[in-house]
Amino acid sequence: MSYDLMVFEPSAAPKDKAAFEAWYSEQVKWSEGHSYNDPSVTSPALQSWFDDMRKNYPPMNGPFAMSNEEWDKLDSESQAYVTDYSIGKFIIYAGFRWSVADEAEKSALRAADLHGVGLYDVSGNGRILFPKEQDVQDGESDIQENEHINKKIKTIFVVAGVAIIIGIIAYIVKDFL
Protein backbone atom coordinates (compact mmCIF):
# COMPACT_ATOMS: atom_id res chain seq x y z
CA MET A 1 0.00 0.00 0.00
CA SER A 2 1.09 3.54 -0.69
CA TYR A 3 0.04 7.04 0.24
CA ASP A 4 -1.50 8.36 -2.95
CA LEU A 5 -2.02 11.92 -4.13
CA MET A 6 -3.14 13.17 -7.50
CA VAL A 7 -2.36 16.60 -8.87
CA PHE A 8 -4.42 17.81 -11.79
CA GLU A 9 -4.83 20.53 -14.36
CA PRO A 10 -7.60 22.66 -12.82
CA SER A 11 -8.99 23.76 -16.19
CA ALA A 12 -9.69 20.11 -17.10
CA ALA A 13 -11.31 19.02 -13.82
CA PRO A 14 -14.95 19.53 -12.83
CA LYS A 15 -15.50 21.48 -9.61
CA ASP A 16 -18.59 19.59 -8.50
CA LYS A 17 -17.54 16.77 -6.12
CA ALA A 18 -19.59 14.01 -7.76
CA ALA A 19 -18.52 15.07 -11.25
CA PHE A 20 -14.90 15.29 -10.07
CA GLU A 21 -15.00 11.75 -8.68
CA ALA A 22 -16.43 10.46 -11.97
CA TRP A 23 -13.72 12.33 -13.89
CA TYR A 24 -11.07 10.92 -11.54
CA SER A 25 -12.35 7.37 -12.17
CA GLU A 26 -11.97 7.93 -15.91
CA GLN A 27 -8.45 9.34 -15.51
CA VAL A 28 -7.17 6.35 -13.55
CA LYS A 29 -8.33 3.85 -16.16
CA TRP A 30 -5.02 4.75 -17.82
CA SER A 31 -6.50 4.54 -21.31
CA GLU A 32 -4.87 7.54 -23.02
CA GLY A 33 -2.65 5.39 -25.23
CA HIS A 34 0.79 6.64 -24.14
CA SER A 35 3.42 5.72 -21.60
CA TYR A 36 2.46 6.95 -18.14
CA ASN A 37 6.10 7.41 -17.10
CA ASP A 38 6.93 10.37 -19.32
CA PRO A 39 6.20 13.91 -18.05
CA SER A 40 6.34 15.34 -21.58
CA VAL A 41 2.73 14.17 -22.16
CA THR A 42 1.26 16.44 -19.49
CA SER A 43 0.62 20.18 -19.17
CA PRO A 44 3.44 22.67 -18.54
CA ALA A 45 2.12 23.41 -15.01
CA LEU A 46 2.06 19.70 -14.12
CA GLN A 47 5.54 19.27 -15.65
CA SER A 48 6.78 22.06 -13.36
CA TRP A 49 5.13 20.39 -10.34
CA PHE A 50 6.82 17.11 -11.29
CA ASP A 51 10.21 18.81 -11.74
CA ASP A 52 9.97 20.26 -8.24
CA MET A 53 8.80 17.03 -6.64
CA ARG A 54 11.34 14.76 -8.30
CA LYS A 55 14.18 16.65 -6.60
CA ASN A 56 13.26 15.09 -3.24
CA TYR A 57 10.97 12.27 -4.40
CA PRO A 58 12.75 10.75 -7.39
CA PRO A 59 10.66 8.76 -9.85
CA MET A 60 10.69 4.98 -9.77
CA ASN A 61 10.22 4.76 -13.56
CA GLY A 62 10.55 6.84 -16.68
CA PRO A 63 13.23 9.08 -18.16
CA PHE A 64 14.26 10.53 -14.79
CA ALA A 65 14.43 7.23 -12.88
CA MET A 66 17.70 6.26 -11.31
CA SER A 67 19.70 3.33 -12.59
CA ASN A 68 19.86 0.01 -10.74
CA GLU A 69 23.40 0.90 -9.69
CA GLU A 70 22.23 4.21 -8.20
CA TRP A 71 19.37 2.44 -6.42
CA ASP A 72 21.75 -0.12 -4.90
CA LYS A 73 23.87 2.70 -3.42
CA LEU A 74 20.92 4.18 -1.49
CA ASP A 75 20.28 3.31 2.14
CA SER A 76 16.77 2.18 3.09
CA GLU A 77 15.82 5.64 4.38
CA SER A 78 16.71 7.23 1.04
CA GLN A 79 14.94 4.47 -0.87
CA ALA A 80 11.71 5.43 0.94
CA TYR A 81 11.65 8.69 -1.04
CA VAL A 82 11.56 6.98 -4.44
CA THR A 83 8.04 7.57 -5.76
CA ASP A 84 5.76 5.86 -8.25
CA TYR A 85 4.43 8.54 -10.62
CA SER A 86 1.78 7.85 -13.27
CA ILE A 87 1.53 10.78 -15.65
CA GLY A 88 -1.50 11.52 -17.80
CA LYS A 89 -2.45 14.45 -19.99
CA PHE A 90 -4.30 16.22 -17.16
CA ILE A 91 -3.07 14.45 -14.01
CA ILE A 92 -0.06 13.12 -12.18
CA TYR A 93 -0.79 10.33 -9.72
CA ALA A 94 1.94 9.88 -7.11
CA GLY A 95 2.32 6.88 -4.82
CA PHE A 96 4.56 7.61 -1.82
CA ARG A 97 5.70 5.26 0.91
CA TRP A 98 3.75 5.77 4.12
CA SER A 99 6.96 6.52 6.00
CA VAL A 100 7.27 9.80 4.07
CA ALA A 101 3.54 10.55 3.70
CA ASP A 102 3.33 13.65 5.92
CA GLU A 103 6.41 15.23 4.42
CA ALA A 104 5.33 14.31 0.88
CA GLU A 105 1.88 15.80 1.38
CA LYS A 106 3.36 19.11 2.53
CA SER A 107 5.78 19.17 -0.39
CA ALA A 108 3.02 18.31 -2.86
CA LEU A 109 0.76 21.06 -1.47
CA ARG A 110 3.55 23.63 -1.66
CA ALA A 111 4.41 22.67 -5.23
CA ALA A 112 0.72 22.60 -6.24
CA ASP A 113 0.25 26.12 -4.92
CA LEU A 114 3.45 27.33 -6.57
CA HIS A 115 2.53 25.92 -9.98
CA GLY A 116 -1.22 26.54 -9.92
CA VAL A 117 -2.41 22.94 -10.08
CA GLY A 118 -5.08 21.18 -8.06
CA LEU A 119 -4.53 18.38 -5.58
CA TYR A 120 -6.69 15.39 -4.66
CA ASP A 121 -5.74 13.61 -1.43
CA VAL A 122 -6.65 10.11 -2.60
CA SER A 123 -5.36 8.11 0.39
CA GLY A 124 -5.86 10.75 3.06
CA ASN A 125 -9.04 12.64 3.79
CA GLY A 126 -10.26 12.86 0.20
CA ARG A 127 -9.80 16.64 -0.06
CA ILE A 128 -10.09 18.08 -3.53
CA LEU A 129 -8.21 21.36 -3.67
CA PHE A 130 -8.24 23.80 -6.53
CA PRO A 131 -5.66 26.60 -6.60
CA LYS A 132 -6.69 29.75 -4.73
CA GLU A 133 -10.25 28.51 -4.39
CA GLN A 134 -12.41 26.72 -1.87
CA ASP A 135 -12.14 23.04 -1.06
CA VAL A 136 -14.69 21.20 -3.20
CA GLN A 137 -15.51 18.68 -0.50
CA ASP A 138 -16.52 20.87 2.41
CA GLY A 139 -15.57 24.47 1.73
CA GLU A 140 -12.94 24.54 4.48
CA SER A 141 -9.68 25.79 3.03
CA ASP A 142 -7.60 26.08 -0.08
CA ILE A 143 -3.96 25.31 -0.75
CA GLN A 144 -2.79 28.78 0.23
CA GLU A 145 -4.72 28.70 3.51
CA ASN A 146 -3.10 25.37 4.45
CA GLU A 147 0.34 26.86 3.84
CA HIS A 148 -0.61 30.02 5.78
CA ILE A 149 -1.58 27.90 8.81
CA ASN A 150 1.68 25.94 8.56
CA LYS A 151 3.65 29.23 8.53
CA LYS A 152 1.79 30.47 11.63
CA ILE A 153 2.57 27.25 13.49
CA LYS A 154 6.25 27.49 12.51
CA THR A 155 6.34 31.12 13.68
CA ILE A 156 4.90 30.12 17.06
CA PHE A 157 7.58 27.46 17.49
CA VAL A 158 10.35 29.88 16.51
CA VAL A 159 9.10 32.53 18.97
CA ALA A 160 8.83 29.92 21.73
CA GLY A 161 12.35 28.71 20.94
CA VAL A 162 13.75 32.24 21.08
CA ALA A 163 11.98 32.85 24.41
CA ILE A 164 13.53 29.68 25.85
CA ILE A 165 16.99 30.70 24.65
CA ILE A 166 16.60 34.18 26.16
CA GLY A 167 15.51 32.60 29.45
CA ILE A 168 18.56 30.33 29.49
CA ILE A 169 20.91 33.23 28.73
CA ALA A 170 19.29 35.36 31.46
CA TYR A 171 19.70 32.50 33.95
CA ILE A 172 23.38 32.09 33.08
CA VAL A 173 24.11 35.84 33.09
CA LYS A 174 22.46 36.44 36.50
CA ASP A 175 24.99 34.03 38.08
CA PHE A 176 27.82 36.21 36.78
CA LEU A 177 26.39 39.51 37.98
pLDDT in tens, 122-165: 998 899 999 975 445 444 435 545 555 556 656 665 666 667 77
Task: Give the pLDDT confidence score for residue 133 in this predicted structure.
Answer: 57
What residue segments make up the domains of the chain, in order of their start?
3-151
Contact 46, 7 (CB under 8 A): yes
CA–CA distance, 5 with 120 (Å, rounded to integer)? 6
Q: What is the DSSP string of 122-177?
A: TTTT--EE-TTS--TTTS---HHHHHHHHHHHHHHHHHHHHHHHHHHHHHHHHHH-
Please give the model's pTM, rounded to 2 decimal places: 0.74
DSSP state of 98: G
